[in-house]
Amino acid sequence: MSLSPALIALLTCAWAAAPAPAAERPDVVVADFEAADYGDWTTTGEAFGDGPAAGTLPGQMQVDGFEGRRLVNSFHGGDGAVGTLTSPPFELSRNHVNLLVGGGGYEGETCVNLRVDGEVVRTAVGPNLRPGGSERLRPRTWDVREYAGRTARIEIVDAHRGGWGHVNVDQITLSDTAADVPPPPVTLERPLLVDGSHLLVPIANPGPDAEAVRLGLFDGDRVVQSFNVALPLDGDPNWTAAYPLGPFDVAGKTLTLKTLGSPVNPQTAAAFDRIAVGSADRVLEPADWTRPYRNAFHLAPRRGWNNDPNGLVYHDGLWHVFYQYNPFGIEWGNMHWGHYTSPDLTTWTERPIALFQNGPGDAMFSGGGFVDARNTAGLGAGRLFVAFTSTGRGECLAHSADGVAFTELPENPVVTHSGRDPKIFRHAPTDRWVMAVYEQEETAETRAVPQSAESAAREADLKTAQIAFYRSADLRTWERTGAFTHPDRRSVFECPELFELPVLKDGEPTGETRWVLYGAQNRYFLGTFDGETFTAESGPHGDAHGAFYAAQTFNNAPDGRRIQIGWLRTPLYLERFPNQTVNQCLSLPHELTLHATPDGPRLRFTPVAELTNLRNDLRFEGEDLSADEATAALTAAAGAPSETLITFAEAGRHTLTIDGVDASFEGTSARIFTDRTVTEIYADDGRRLTVRTRPDSAFEDPASRVAAGERVASLRVYGLASIWPPAGSSPAGD
């Protein structure tokens, strides 16, 4: 808006003519809770800890809305702890007390009180009474004019032990101006006619305009689905999710859409009203496949978030890759299983969601895939199975005749324990199925092999981590046969893998084999397995591999191949791409082989031979290059998507940047796969695998460089094809 000079003159005049406002008394800060201790304030009980918390405490949802770096957070010791925190006396020397309050909504139990002469004269609670909700603190204000000049104390109370049994408080100020208090939270509800194929949900990417809510879709009293989603406060989404309604059998019905859990910020109403039913075509765009931050030859969902690869199995001529999938945001949550298939590990077809969560409280966590070749479950020979953790139930199995639509076993859950990530395979010598599964409860095995002090200092919560083994003849009933653990608990954490590999020497079989027990953090043990017990001969070996996590191998791969895919953990690029629609990806498939070394057998990681299908042009080929020549060649040729094969004249640690990403490695040669946000470096004939992610700055400056003084014996750079449909064409699998 621009004001004319005449109007400005008039306004200035009017203001000058108005009576002078009462002298503004400056605000008085009663407490900003920025120190490491509570100073003159006194505590009782455990809930308030020794001092203000530096934000979120372990096990707590993200706390925000406080000022500075610290706040009062009574989640010390979790929701079970109770206590009080009381201020020294102070004078009510201004008209208002302004403060920030969050946490539990229990009157008198998770509250902040103002006491005058010992009497509670004002009180405030957080907004949350039910599961879900938000840890955000919100402004509150008390008009205290009637107590002007009186002495008061603030008392913060946590007397509630169950869910939301804590309170968050910050920035208590005396002021003559009442704080702007947002309108009270509301519950939103509206009918929704299912006259189309998808639920279209406006999504806010992480940031101050994103409000976390839980939405429920109801058919009468029956919950059709519920999910956690961040709605935009200003009504303007960053992108829109398209969620298939077909599998819920609700076509033609009028459902009710509601916010669940604690009431929500009323500013989400505009976005809530924009939630619609319609065709996915209304919101999906061909450009989804070609966004600048979308990897060109690494698997990822079309939109949303992925983490672990799941259900890896070869079946009837197709490689199946499922993955942990959040259809409703670019951060972790709402775990479904997404699905791709390929005849050749390089051409991929997007398939419908294979496993749907039953609300966020019963999500579909990781597990493996396998084939019941001999019909042990009585559902037909060659039936495809997946094993998964249902977070609300336990370890479960589902099967499929066509590899696309899955049906659960009526016996589910087949194993109940505190754990997750079942991997099932056939153990031929005992003619039994074996489940290797992450377990986290005290057992004879964790007592016999306690956690080391070093591991306890690094990962205290993994005290009871172990990989348990169960066996079964028919897939329907399972019996625990034992567990393996190690003092270094990170080596037996999450997503276990167990398989047998031949030991090679100079590339040839030695006749020996070893069993490999492999954990999510890429540490592995070598040993024997008799169908019940894993006995380690050596380990843990291996390292973290950079941004590579929760890997899994294909069951049933032809020719005894052991092919692994992991989750590549990439950053968000919201500063540059605020409307980012997809986040994370899976690694390239690479083959695991076991090689004799003077220290005993060790794994190597080799990209599968099929990946050469992706090469579409030889951008550079040269030999015996100086560092400057190699730098010039890479600068001209190595932009993503590309594959670089580099051999240095000498072995050692080589410093190298390709397309803005650190591609340094140890050894003589490496194959380096450069995609838009990830770089995979297979060095020294697969002895070392490192994954690095693109720093945000590299979008501006995608430089390539070989360190001065280096000599390059040979260099080849290939351009690689995208595995996605080109922009403008109709996408695969739709």
Residues 6+ apart with CB under 8 A from 675: 295, 296, 297, 298, 585, 640, 641
**Positive or negative: CA dihedral 11, 16, 18, 23:** positive
Tally Cβ neighbours within 10 Å of residue 171. 21
Scan for tokens 């981590």, then name that residue: 465
**Residue 493 CB, nearest distance to ligand FRU (Å)?**
8
Contact code string over 342-371 relative to ligand FRU, x by CB under 6 A: -----------------------xx-----
- The gap from C-alpha 233 to its chain's centroid, in whole angstroms, comes to 23
Least separation in angstroms between CB 308 and ligand FRU: 5
Our finding on whether 488 is near ligand FRU (CB under 6 A) is no
Closest distance between ligand FRU and the C-beta of residue 87, in Å?
42
- Tell me whether residue 455 or residue 584 sits nearer to ligand FRU (CB atom): 584
Is residue 497 close enough to count as binding ligand FRU by CB under 6 A? no
Q: How far is the CB of 420 from ligand FRU (least distance, A)?
A: 5
Of residues 63 and 520, the one with the C-beta less far from ligand FRU: 520
Nearer to ligand FRU, 136 or 420 (CB): 420
Residues 691, 669 contacting (CB under 8 angstroms): no
Strands (E), 383-533: 383-390, 394-400, 407-408, 419-427, 432-440, 465-472, 479-484, 497-505, 508-518, 524-529
Residue 618: partners with Cβ closer than 8 Å, 6 or more residues away: 716, 717, 718
724, two tokens? 């996605």
By C-beta, is 102 or 422 nearer to ligand FRU?
422
How many residues lie near ligand FRU (CB under 6 A)?
A: 13
Q: How far apart are CA 613 and CA 721, in angstroms?
A: 9
Q: What torsion, rounded to 10 degrees, do the Cα atoms 611, 612, 614, 616 define?
A: 170
If binding is defined by CB under 6 A, does position 672 make contact with ligand FRU?
no
Least Å distance between CB 438 and ligand FRU? 6
To the nearest whole angstrom, how small is the minimum distance from the Cβ of residue 550 to ligand FRU?
A: 4
Cβ proximity to ligand FRU: between 332 and 636 the closer is 332
Q: Which two tokens stand for residue 192?
A: 């929704």
Q: Which of 114, 124, 194, 495 binds ligand FRU (CB under 6 A)?
A: 495
Measured between alpha carbons, how far is residue 585 from residues 88, 230, 323 in Å? 53, 21, 10
Nearer to ligand FRU, 165 or 519 (CB): 519
Q: Name every residue whose Cβ is closer than 8 Å to that of residue 118 and which is 6 or more positions away in sequence.
A: none
| Among positions 420, 423, 619, 654, the unique one binding ligand FRU when judged by CB under 6 A | 420
Q: Is 394 left (phi over 0), alpha (psi -120 to 50) or beta?
A: left
Residue 415 sits in the site that holds ligand FRU (CB under 6 A): no
- Of 566 and 601, which has the nearer Cβ to ligand FRU? 566
- The C-alpha atoms of residue 414 and residue 388 are separated, in whole angstroms, by 10
Q: How far is the CB of 468 from ligand FRU (least distance, A)?
A: 14
Minimum CB separation of residue 324 from ligand FRU in Å reads: 4
Dihedral Cα 441, 447, 453, 455, nearest 10 deg: -40
Tokens of 651: 């072995």
Identity of the residue, 103 or 496, whose beta carbon is nearer to ligand FRU in the bound complex = 496
Among 79, 372, 421, 659, binds ligand FRU (CB under 6 A): 421
**SS3 (DSSP) at 256:** strand
Please report whether residue 619 would count as binding ligand FRU according to CB under 6 A: no
Decide if residue 494 touches ligand FRU (CB under 6 A): yes
- Nearest approach in angstroms of CB 584 to ligand FRU is 11
Supply the minimum distance, in Å, between the C-beta of residue 303 and ligand FRU: 18
User: 548 or 724, CB closer to ligand FRU?
Assistant: 548
How many helices and strands (H and E) does the chain possess? 5, 50
Q: Which is nearer to ligand FRU, 520 or 661 (CB)?
A: 520
Contacts of the segment 602-608: beta carbons below 8 A, 24+ positions apart: 602/541, 602/687, 603/516, 603/524, 603/541, 603/542, 604/685, 604/686, 604/687, 605/564, 605/682, 605/686, 605/689, 606/682, 606/685, 606/686, 607/671, 607/673, 607/680, 607/682, 608/345, 608/561, 608/563
Smallest separation, CB 366 to ligand FRU (Å)? 3
Site for ligand FRU in 280-339 (CB under 6 A): 307-308, 324, 335
| Cα separation, 186 vs 208, whole angstroms | 19
Minimum Å gap between C-beta 678 and ligand FRU is: 17
Site for ligand FRU in 545-604 (CB under 6 A): 550
Asked if residue 611 binds ligand FRU (CB under 6 A), the reply is no
Determine which residue in the list 110, 171, 205, 389 makes contact with ligand FRU, applying CB under 6 A: 389
- Given the complex with ligand FRU, which of 166 and 423 has the nearer CB atom? 423
Return the residue matching tokens 């191949």: 561
Residues in contact with ligand FRU, shown as a per-residue x/- string from 513 to 552 under the rule CB under 6 A: -------x-----------------------------x--
Residues of the shown chain interacting with ligand FRU in the complex, contacts defined by CB under 6 A: 307-308, 324, 335, 365-366, 389, 420-421, 494-495, 520, 550
